Structure 1
Amino acid sequence: MEATAVVGATIDAAVHRFPFCIVWSPIPILTWFLPFIGHLGLADSKGVIFDFAGPYTIGRDDFAFGAPTRYLQCTVAPEDVAKWDEAVAAGCKIYEKRMHNLCCDNCHSHVAVCLEHADYAGRKRWNMVELCFWMFIRGKYVSVAGFVKSWLPFVFVLAVIAIVRSTA
């Protein structure tokens, strides 16, 4: 599901263009302790990222927690490009009228609804937990710096815990 079937859908991390991708970035403090939890967004066919950034707010080309550090490129057939873009727009239209809830109606839910509208991978139902772990297990890092930004705070927290425990 990661390889693209669309010609010209090239990822350009330098200008934050991720066509047909689910993108992820760490959320300060939360990701430091739970490294599989982060902020999720979805890009249209041109690579423009949309994310449910807060109550009644859809970010467009302004990812809420900084540039993506991980991505998953979805396979979209050339004849389904318009459907993909329509699905992203439909999900955004729904979520721009919703209150954000960290636990149950959040950026992951927004991406799930977009994928459902696209009938992505032949599935009618997606959920935030699946997306969380799918990104954690299958997501690719944008760069070495993206890897470091994702993991260094967690490693630091573990080191502090280890030091405190060893001196106690």
Structure 2
Amino acid sequence: MKTPETSVGVEENYTISPQSAMNSSLSRDQLIDIPIDHKRSRYPFCIVWTPIPFLTWILPFIGHMGIATSNGVIRDFAGPYVVAEDNMAFGRPTKYWQLKSHLARGGSTGWDSAVREASEVYKTRMHNLCCDNCHSHVAMALNLMRYDGSTSWNMVKLAVLILVHGKYVKYVHIPHT
């Protein structure tokens, strides 16, 4: 049975598709589509990325990465013993990859818990560009939530996937990467 492509409003800024609404076995996490707000830098359930000046220009696959909570607040391992909140070390995101909350163990609650736990762990760690960095922080969060049933997330896998799946916030950002 075909359903229309329009969405039915649930709350302000939240929508569900008519097809999803008809399937009562879906959880609330599967129904809500929280929109991205570029102006406010809110990227719910996203991995975000921004270039590192000079370094990204030479090696385009290297950049700074963070992970956002269910309400879009970005957490990033910004330096030794520092996990920033809504203040990325190298500026606002230029790319984002929105993931599906229902693929996290525990849905949006599990997502937020894993991001919080990974952030607390990384507040006790020394930053190392080569092996324990912002990508590792994001990988730990994804492993803790067992995103998509996996515990094999790592910095290399994330670097490749943000290149493949990442969307630019603005087309003007393309030359910077």
User: What root-mean-square deviation, in Å, do the aligned CA atoms of Structure 1 and Structure 2 show?
Assistant: 1.5
Higher relative contact order (CA 8 A, sep 6+): 1
User: 2:72 corresponds to which residue?
Assistant: 47
Structure 2 gap segments, 5+ residues each: 1-28
Which TM-score applies when normalising by structure 2?
Answer: 0.80
Task: Determine helix, strand or coil for the equivalent of 2:83.
Answer: strand
1:111 aligned residue (138, 160, 166): 138
Worse-matched range after superposition: 69-78 or 118-127: 69-78
How far apart are the structure 2 equivalents of 1:146 and 1:129? 22
Structure 1 gap segments, 5+ residues each: 151-168
Seq. identity, %? 50
- Which one has a larger percent helix, Structure 1 or Structure 2? 1
The answer on 1:7 being equivalent to 2:28 is: no
User: 1:134 corresponds to which residue?
Assistant: 161
Contact 1:26 1:38 in 2 (8 A): yes
User: How big is each residue's C-alpha offset from its partner over 1:54-101, in whole Å with a ceiling of 9 and x where there is no partner?
Assistant: 000001000110010000000112961100000000000100000000
How far apart are the structure 1 equivalents of 2:139 and 2:89? 18
Task: Determine helix, strand or coil for the equivalent of 1:77.
Answer: helix
**Number of residues of Structure 1 aligned to a counterpart in Structure 2:** 147
Which TM-score applies when normalising by structure 1?
Answer: 0.84
Shift of 1:5: 3.9
